[in-house]
Structure 1
């Protein structure tokens, strides 16, 4: 009895073991993605059928094998190419072994494989329940056809059906076993395919997701990063795997990152959080993120993080807030400047009269001078507010930037000599022209150069360079001054923000507005103790 059971287990193993190995190999892949699926299923069908013949089982004293099960399955799931391969291998085995009934065996193989070959191309289009019914019916029909074939062969060979009839019990048991094997093999293959599909869908969901998705273990080590995450952070997945996620955070964010991990490791889901991460090149990236725990069984083994780059959105919001501020300031400036100018004119007039009066003491004259200077300063601020409230109209013409910059350098060369500042101009043999208002552009350049002078109170070097980049002319003003801290650089251009004791905070704002009106842009880069570079980009005129 044990020997018979052992034979059954061997036969089951012959059919199931290759599929199990196949399942392990296809983890993470869709069944339809396998490039050699047809060949592989064909080798499985033919190889398993040959092994079934070499290790038959015994039923009621007779030997039997279930070679048709793997052949039928290989045809249904691997299509006609698999069928040809499996039939070819099985037929070649029959010819090589040269058994007594080789023609009879080959004819049987062709009979039970012919019906699946007719349906295999449509089989995978059916839903799972229908595929199960079709596979079962094909097995039953195959058995009936095979029995009829045997009946005809026995009748022709022996002249009567007696020999076939005496085997009806043996054949009935064999048919039940074959159907059982077909059902078990069907569900095993279907589950194999479904596991691959589920894994493939999960991988596709991660890989092709527009959100940057990463996964890391409870020790903060990366175990996965998709293409979007690579694009946002600048790192390749191969550079991140096994590395600490804390390298993406600036030092002042490590405590925040630790608190997030503490919450998620307790099973919490954190949504719509915001943080600043470090790009591979050192730049700051503003991100909005969601983190969820990775649960295996009852244990949390890691964390999924989904990030969205909102750096541009933040900039747009900041720009919108500044625009709103400018709009309010413009309206306020127009009214305030108008109201201040009238009494200011009166005060200046009376102050001049008093200062010229013979009765005025000499000591009071000093006070009058101070008052006149302050009133002049107030008048200057009011003028700037009026410019802000009502921008000047552009007098558009072709402007030679090289000539304009040379003129600005001449105007300020005397002041540069007095402050021990050396101005160098690199035109790179370029004579770019832009369409714009020469006076307004000159005002911008004068403002930038004067700011550079103020940043070099002990003297230094100011380099002015011309260049072309992607259809724009780039003017760089590079000084060797004291530099500007990064947190202050981000605030430059905000209304009334200034680091100068007598500044208004409107100079750079007006310069930036002029450049924007010329369809250009201004950028500041600075390092404390080394200097500052102001870049102006303007579209080249055609």
Structure 2
């Protein structure tokens, strides 16, 4: 006795086609999100240009940041071009202060346009970890974009980098509404967002980058209001313990 397996094969073909379509939809959404961040920085500077065209410092910053963000998009296209080949994920010693301060600089015009008070605190000595500069820059840019969107006009942001004996700890604190307690465990899930226009990929990308750097990324609400994101990276070389007098 033979059974006609054609309907089952058609169902399997349809399932695989649906999976491929879902994958490409996710990929397209991710590409759009990664391109949006540098475009926002460039667009903000361009919007302010007519009013500040005589400000030499502003023009210099515009040129430098626009060039850097265009290069960021070029790197994204290069990664997509080589998507079929596994990444070697080369991690080199770097000073974590550099990607943190670069991300703040990229967002500076957006912060000014919203009249946000931004405080940046970094240690006077290098915070050496092993990592990929571009990926860490994307992590901190996404965190700052999230804080910028969550904070109301004339609000405050605080970015701080500290070092313990074994770790470099970066924190981003905003004065927005915070995260509903029942959603705290979901903020790093891909495509999860509480915003109407959000793609839900920014914080998921942060979590993925943190994971590849053996870092712990956490979020909590502050008693006075606002969300606190903490990224804890192992130092490339453990800091020496303080010597007792």
TM range (shorter): 0.5 to 0.7
User: What's the CA shift for 1:532?
Assistant: 1.0
Task: Describe the shift of the 1:527–1:426 C-alpha distance in structure 2 as closer, same or farther (beyond 3 A).
Answer: closer
CA distance in 1, matches of 2:26, 2:226: 41
Question: Which contiguous aligned blocks of 4+ residues in structure 1 show a shift greater than 6 angstroms?
Answer: 338-341
- List per-residue Cα deviations over 1:187-233 (Å, max 9, x = no partner): xxxxxxxxxxxxxxxxxxxxxxxxxxxxxxxxxxxxxxxxxxxxxxx
CA distance in 2, matches of 1:340, 1:443: 17
Q: Give ranges in structure 2 of 5+ residues lacking alignment.
A: 1-17, 29-76, 238-245
Q: Is 1:493 matched up with 2:192?
A: no
Q: TM-score, normalised by structure 1?
A: 0.29
Correspondence 1:261-340 to 2 at 5 A: 332=19, 336-337=23-24
Q: Is the 8 A contact 2:178 2:227 kept in 1?
A: yes
Task: Describe the shift of the 1:333–1:449 C-alpha distance in structure 2 as closer, same or farther (beyond 3 A).
Answer: farther
User: What's the CA shift for 1:392?
Assistant: 5.2
CA distance in 2, matches of 1:409, 1:340: 27
Secondary structure in structure 2 of the residue aligned to 1:444: helix
User: What's the CA shift for 1:529?
Assistant: 6.5
Aligned match of 2:141 in 443, 446, 471? 446
Secondary structure in structure 2 of the residue aligned to 1:536: strand
Higher relative contact order (CA 8 A, sep 6+): 2
Secondary structure in structure 2 of the residue aligned to 1:538: strand
Aligned to 1:461: 156
Q: Is 1:502 matched up with 2:205?
A: no
Q: TM-score, normalised by structure 2?
A: 0.61
Secondary structure in structure 1 of the residue aligned to 2:194: coil
Q: Is the 8 A contact 1:481 1:529 kept in 2?
A: no
Correspondence 1:55-454 to 2 at 5 A: 332=19, 336-337=23-24, 393-454=88-149
Secondary structure in structure 2 of the residue aligned to 1:490: helix
Q: Is the 8 A contact 2:123 2:162 kept in 1?
A: yes
Aligned to 1:377: none
User: What's the CA shift for 1:337?
Assistant: 1.2
CA distance in 1, matches of 2:27, 2:205: 21
CA distance in 2, matches of 1:479, 1:338: 32
Q: Is the 8 A contact 1:423 1:463 kept in 2?
A: yes
User: What's the CA shift for 1:340?
Assistant: 8.8
CA distance in 1, matches of 2:224, 2:19: 38
Secondary structure in structure 1 of the residue aligned to 2:186: coil
User: Superposition RMSD on alpha carbons, in Å?
Assistant: 3.0
Q: Is the 8 A contact 1:455 1:482 kept in 2?
A: yes
User: What's the CA shift for 1:416?
Assistant: 0.5
User: What's the CA shift for 1:458?
Assistant: 2.0
Count of equivalent residues:
168
Secondary structure in structure 1 of the residue aligned to 2:203: helix
Task: Describe the shift of the 1:458–1:539 C-alpha distance in structure 2 as closer, same or farther (beyond 3 A).
Answer: same
CA distance in 2, matches of 1:461, 1:515: 25
Q: Is the 8 A contact 1:524 1:532 kept in 2?
A: yes
CA distance in 1, matches of 2:98, 2:27: 39
User: What's the CA shift for 1:417?
Assistant: 0.2
Q: Is 1:521 matched up with 2:216?
A: yes
Secondary structure in structure 1 of the residue aligned to 2:171: strand
CA distance in 2, matches of 1:532, 1:332: 35
Secondary structure in structure 1 of the residue aligned to 2:93: strand
Task: Describe the shift of the 1:513–1:332 C-alpha distance in structure 2 as closer, same or farther (beyond 3 A).
Answer: farther
CA distance in 2, matches of 1:491, 1:339: 18
- List per-residue Cα deviations over 1:419-440 (Å, max 9, x = no partner): 1112211113232111111000
User: What's the CA shift for 1:469?
Assistant: 3.0
User: What's the CA shift for 1:415?
Assistant: 0.7
Q: Is 1:474 matched up with 2:169?
A: yes
Q: Is the 8 A contact 1:484 1:528 kept in 2?
A: no
Aligned to 1:355: none
- List per-residue Cα deviations over 1:484-530 (Å, max 9, x = no partner): 11111121112321111111222211210111111111010114861
